[in-house]
Amino acid sequence: MLMLALAACSSPGDRLKVDVSDIGMPETVIRRYDRDLFRLNTTDLKNELEQLKSQYPFFLKTNLDSMKILAMRDYLENERNKAFFRASDSVFRDMSEVSSGLTDAFRHMAYYFKGFKAPRVYSYISGGDYQYPVQFADSVLLIAIDCYLGKGCYLYKDDQLPLYRERRADRVYIVSDAMGAIFSAVCPSDFPGNTLLDQMIQAGKRILFIDAMMPETSGFVKMGYTKEQYEWAAKNEEHVWAAIIGNNLLYNTSGQTMRTFLSDGPFTAEFSKESPPRLGEYIGWRILLQYMERNPKVSLLEILKERDGQKLLTGSAYKPQK
């Protein structure tokens, strides 16, 4: 009876709150390539860069010939890049909070992925590469800190960055974006089916992964929503699911349906302007959380590898919370 009572009181996501206190992992060091690079003396750039080579081999391991030096000088003397650096240097005087968040996430990575080694982390100035604010490759994590200067930054206004995207240009989203980038590398897509259900489940796996690596982080951060958008999604989860089922969209394969429920944007067109985008991703995540709670013997990695979306939906007995 006690076990049944405990099961009844559990909530989706409880299984992800694991103890990682015994996992040995040094504090993450964020190497400030942005700061060290933009403080170089460009009149003697070749020698200055040669001195940085040992600290930043990922960026400077190639032969610094005249063409590369010229390209680097153009990059450093570009007024827009310099403006991004000045703003970034002001906003990110201290990155200890980001460092602590990454360390905790990496400890969770080590818990689930045996043999995991934390990547080397670098911050840099991308010049407004908003499509790829965080990149992960070859055990290196690159953070374009100029993409996280906060809503209202004049540079974003100059670039005419859409408001919905500007809202996410905040440091609070750095660690979750980093985990999303790592997910794409360690759990590449297995070419899911082309129904809305299949695509929602696949998209939801990314959020489940982020959730597992950051279980104590607010849901709106994991989803890349504002607090208000997340509250809307939670409040209207039952309504969204009813709309999908009522309009026979669950097994729909049209591109328009996929775009409606999975594409980024200011809101989901089928609902109010207060709704968040990517509601299909949110629903997919919720299905997977309920599946995890109802199937305690199935591991996180097994769920992430499962390609049968119908199996996950049926096994979840998904029912939106009221």
What whole-number distance in Å separates Cα of residue 308 and Cα of residue 13? 21
Neighbours of 50 (CB within 10 A): 11
* Mean per-residue pLDDT, 200-221: 97
Helix crossing, 196-213 with 309-316: angle to 10°? 70
Question: What is the pLDDT, as a whole number, of residue 4?
Answer: 38
Q: Give CB contacts under 8 A, 24+ apart, made by 153-159.
A: 153/87, 155/80, 155/83, 155/84, 155/87, 155/128, 159/128, 159/130
Across 196-223, average pLDDT: 97
The Cα–Cα gap between 170 and 21 comes to 28
What per-residue confidence (pLDDT) applies to 61?
83
Would you say residue 190 has pLDDT above 70?
no
pLDDT band at 143 (very low <50, low <70, confident <90, very high): very high
How would residue 186 be classed by pLDDT, with cut points 50, 70 and 90? confident
Q: pLDDT at residue 74 above 60?
A: yes
Provide the pLDDT for residue 2: 36
d(CA 165, CA 106): 26
Mean pLDDT of the chain: 93
Residue 115 pLDDT exceeds 60: yes
Task: Write down the pLDDT at residue 142.
Answer: 98
Strand 30-32 and strand 140-144: pairing?
Answer: unpaired
Residue ranges of the domains in the chain? 30-186, 196-316
Q: Measuring CA to CA, how many Å separate 3 from each of 7, 8, 10, 276, 298?
A: 6, 9, 11, 37, 19
User: Length of the chain in residues, anyone?
Assistant: 322
As a whole number of angstroms, the distance between CA 259 and CA 278 comes to 9
Query: Which helix (H) or strand (E) is 120 found in, with range?
Result: strand 120-124
63 torsion bin: left (phi>0), alpha (psi -120 to 50), beta (else): beta
Q: What is the pLDDT of residues 4-62, one digit of tens each?
A: 333 344 566 689 999 999 998 899 999 999 999 999 999 999 999 999 998 999 999 88
Q: How many CA atoms lie within 13 Å of 307's alpha carbon, on the beta-carbon side?
A: 7
* pLDDT at residue 1 greater than cutoff 50: no
Q: Give pLDDT, residue 130.
A: 96
172, 147 contact by CB (below 8 A):
no
The CB density around residue 57, as the number of other CB atoms within 10 Å, is: 12
Q: pTM for the whole thing? A: 0.93
- Give the span between the Cα atoms of 118 and 45, in whole angstroms: 32
pLDDT tens digits, 87-114: 999 999 999 999 999 999 999 999 999 9
Residues 229-286 have pLDDT tens digits of 999 999 999 999 999 999 999 999 999 999 999 999 999 988 999 999 999 999 999 9
For residue 322, what pLDDT is reported?
Answer: 65
CB-CB contact of 25 with 107 (8 Å): yes
Strand partners, 32: 123
Mean pLDDT value across residues 292-300: 96
pLDDT value at residue 241: 97
User: pLDDT grade, residue 3 (50/70/90)?
Assistant: very low
The reported pLDDT for the residue numbered 5 is 37
Work out the average pLDDT over 54-80: 92
Query: Residue 45 has which token pair?
Result: 């750039």
d(CA 235, CA 217): 19
Instruction: Report how far residue 259's alpha carbon sits from residue 145's, in angstroms, rounded to the nearest whole number.
Output: 29
